[in-house]
Chain A
């Protein structure tokens, strides 16, 4: 359904316009890329070049030392393992948290849109407010709750927290998506004797791919990038990569190795970047399919 409104008859003006269009787009692309370029360039320089060069000066030679150091050699505190173990921690947190919150969101959205009951709208509104609660507010009470549950300072605790504060968003996504599914579909299936879960598995889930993609990308990004919960609720052995990165970059004493910092930052951001680069197309498609309709 692309709308192509560029008229092609007045070709001279059109050509000029196209050039202007492309220039604007390219300039903007440069704006968006700038921080990443700087990080990349810096990570490839050696310490001497970082100190003497300018931001955009090119490294003398390709030098991946700082990358390997960031990955497996850089020290924070008394551990010199680089950020690789924390990278794994992050995956241990992110994968279950994304899976659980997406599943919960799908079922919630399914109920709220297609099995309405008295108060389901109110429930949805109440849940939506939950998206907006500033996370700093919940740190202390959540710490106490995790203590009661016996999962403080553990990976399980962090998964729990991310599911709790992610489920509002995921529910929202699925609810909006399922709004466009005609209720008659469910009604007909029920008349045929299909139950609650059968309808979900057989009818709803198969058409949900676009919104699942959107939700998973969103949740993955949010949880991967989380710092606040990661720092407040992790134990010494369950710190996620953002916390490790912060430890590395914010060393308060001793010489700063900006090239290592930058390499570590890129490594820490790599999974989310990869997700956006490879799944970005589906992201926009999912948004299109997901009820962004006039």
Chain B
């Protein structure tokens, strides 16, 4: 291990020295859609204004799966990109392998410790040093609803899961799809996570952060799984494999009433010309109004040898936290700025309430990392949970008890 690491880093150094020219940063990311591209262009332009060359390395697909393959391949080949979009515990894994660059000086100059909420800055640090720059905060536990459909069905927007099922029955009877959902592992997990969250912050922490076996097998988990399985009756037959944004468009055009999805869904509503509070409604997922599961995107900086690239890297880290970029990016993406105390006048009501909820949850200790989005556990545990959750949702004859048992075994096997 040591030998190979040594070999890798020598190669890395040699290559970096050979390849880099003045102030180039190659940025590996999976922000490829229209609105994200607009946002990333802001950053690109600012980088170029600062005299650096931006080499855009976008690899789309599956929440960055392909991008991670590229990153590993590049790291092993000894020429990682200067910056890469990685997040959560994965940052720690890359840190363990010794690939990440220390950007403490940028953080110090920019007072990151003051402007970032502690829960965010903790994720960005490896071994006490900043190695990544946070871009935005997504709230995951949102419920998106089409008020028109609710009106037609005579139902009201639910605030608990019990109410949810009452409303869903009415909506179903009225001929609409109650829940717009896409049957992909991460979407199943997103929905399940919101349900589990309603079982309480302590339970969520025990089960999805501390991976406490008693919680994973316990009655609350079984309860959450039972509720989750019930959702199966309220999705339409074509849900399997559907992309989340296609599900969102079902809500937009009134085929479906609700969707449980993170706030990136807002971009879909916005680009369809819909207004929050009028054409669509954003409320916390039932039973989770005081809680906040977050998903933070970040740019990790990789060790590079060329001084010019190092400088460019630092420029990049600095610019990411600048208010201009924070505002432009998050307006486009539907998330909220990671910086505290940003002016809110350009943000809509959903973002506004997300900011309030963020602060409130942060104060009350209900600010929690999202399991479904790789913020609370590493990719292996997350994958093991995904497997059980999605399999349970799609297997008719599996009971909640069996699923909880499988979950416990899967998590143990992946530790």
Contacts and interface: CB of A to CB of B under 8 A. Distances in A.
Nearest to B45: A78
B15 A254 contact: no
B47 to A, nearest CB: 10
Given A76-B32, A76-B58, A78-B37, A150 B18 contact: yes
Nearest to A136: B69
B20 to A, nearest CB: 13
A78 B38 CA distance: 7
Contacts of A80: 37
B85 to A, nearest CB: 11
Given A148-B11, A153-B79, A255 B34 contact: yes
Interface in B34-77: 34-37, 40-41, 44, 54-63, 66, 69-70, 72-74, 76-77
Nearest to A254: B33
Contacts of A256: 243, 245-246
Given A148-B11, A236-B56, A140 B66 contact: no
**What DSSP secondary structure best describes chain B's contact surface?**
helix
B73 A139 contact: yes
B78 interface: yes
Interface in B1-44: 11, 15, 18, 26, 29-37, 40-41, 44
Contact of A235 (B41, B57, B66, B267): B57
B59 A231 contact: yes
Contact of A147 (B11, B29, B34, B37): B11
Interface in A234-263: 235-237, 243, 246-256
A216 B32 CA distance: 34
Interface size class of B (residues with CB under 8 A): 35 or more
B36 to A, nearest CB: 5
A16 to B, nearest CB: 41
B32 A77 contact: yes
Which one of B36, B59, B72, B79 has the highest number of Cβ atoms from chain A below 10 Å of its Cβ? B59
Interface residues of A, number: 35
A51 B246 CA distance: 11
A167 B41 CA distance: 42
Given A139-B73, A152-B15, A252-B60, 14 more contacts: A75-B37, A77-B58, A78-B44, A139-B69, A140-B72, A147-B78, A148-B11, A152-B78, A236-B81, A248-B60, A251-B33, A252-B61, A252-B63, A255-B249
16 contacts: A75-B32, A76-B58, A77-B58, A143-B76, A147-B76, A231-B59, A231-B69, A231-B70, A233-B73, A235-B57, A243-B59, A247-B59, A248-B32, A253-B33, A253-B36, A254-B268
Return the 4 tightest CB-CB contacts between A and B, nearest first: A77-B58, A254-B33, A147-B77, A152-B77
Interface of A: 51, 75-80, 139-140, 143-144, 146-148, 150, 152-153, 231-233, 235-237, 243, 246-256
Interface of B: 11, 15, 18, 26, 29-37, 40-41, 44, 54-63, 66, 69-70, 72-74, 76-79, 81, 243, 245-246, 249, 253, 264, 267-268, 271-272, 333
